[in-house]
Amino acid sequence: MLKNRILAILVIVSLSFALFSGCNKSDTIKIGAIQPISGQVAAYGTQTRDAIKMAIDEINANGGVLGKKLELVVEDDEANPEKTMNAFIKLTTKDKVIGFIGALTSKCSLAITEDAQAKKSSYDFSVFNQ
């Protein structure tokens, strides 16, 4: 099931941050999602977004992660690789997410793969004090 997969992904992403546990300067942990909310495959993107939201609501209802609530920041890429790159840049710079889910389509995932790999070691984990 899609919901179970997304829940598993969220749990894995969330638990990976346990290495950085401690007092948090913020009450939330921001997770980004890049999905086609509009455009030709919007039906898939909105369903995926809604499933991610349901999983986050369930995690938050059970105490969150490390006692902090997860906050979802969704960007619409319209299944367009250029818009996916713009969404990735916004999520990682302006929104300061510490992880993200997406993109949904292959061509959009390929558009950000190299930058996501390069960025993985430079995420700002300062939301956690050690």
The helix (H) or strand (E) run that includes residue 113 is: helix 106-119
Q: Is the pLDDT of residue 16 over 60?
A: no
Q: Is the pLDDT of residue 116 over 50?
A: yes
Mean pLDDT, residues 52-57 taken together: 95
- Which residue reads 């997410």 in tokens? 97
Q: Is the pLDDT of residue 123 over 90?
A: no
Q: Residues of the chain with pLDDT > 90: what percent?
A: 58
129 versus 65: the higher-pLDDT residue is 65
Q: What type of residue is 61?
A: A
Domains of the chain: 2-119 (3.40.50.2300)
Instruction: Please write the tens of the pLDDT for every residue from 83-111.
Output: 999 999 999 999 999 888 888 899 999 99
Q: Please check whether residue 44 is in contact with residue 3, taking contact to mean a CB–CB distance below 8 angstroms.
A: no
Please list, residue by residue across 77-113, b when 16 or more beta carbons sit within 10 angstroms of its beta carbon and e when fewer do. bbbbbebbbebbeebbeeeebbbbbbbbbeebeebbe
